[in-house]
Amino acid sequence: MYGVPEARDEYDSYVGQVGHLLREGANQDDLVAYFAGLMPHIGSPVNPTRDRVAAEKVLEWFEESMRRLSLITTTVITPGEDTGP
């Protein structure tokens, strides 16, 4: 939570599960359902609009990260390979 230093790591325990869902191919609806299930545990009301926006942003970030990773892994130079001028 912005501006509350003691809450800096409050959501860290959820990151692993979100990562797992993403690696397993979760879609926006899957993430929305996960977020909705979390809200009562963290004392926040369920807000489908907010959860859908959050899920969309997470998916965009993940897809872009995977795209960049694939660019990196496909441009690895083999030792001894001619890299040109």
Rounded Cα gap, residues 4 and 62, in angstroms: 27
Tens-place pLDDT, residues 18-38: 999 999 999 999 999 999 999
What are the distances in angstroms from CA 48 to CA 9, 30, 32, 60? 24, 12, 7, 18
Comparison of pLDDT for 9 and 69, the residue scoring more: 69
Give the pTM: 0.72
Q: Could you tell me if 32 and 52 are in contact, meaning their C-beta atoms sit under 8 angstroms apart?
A: yes
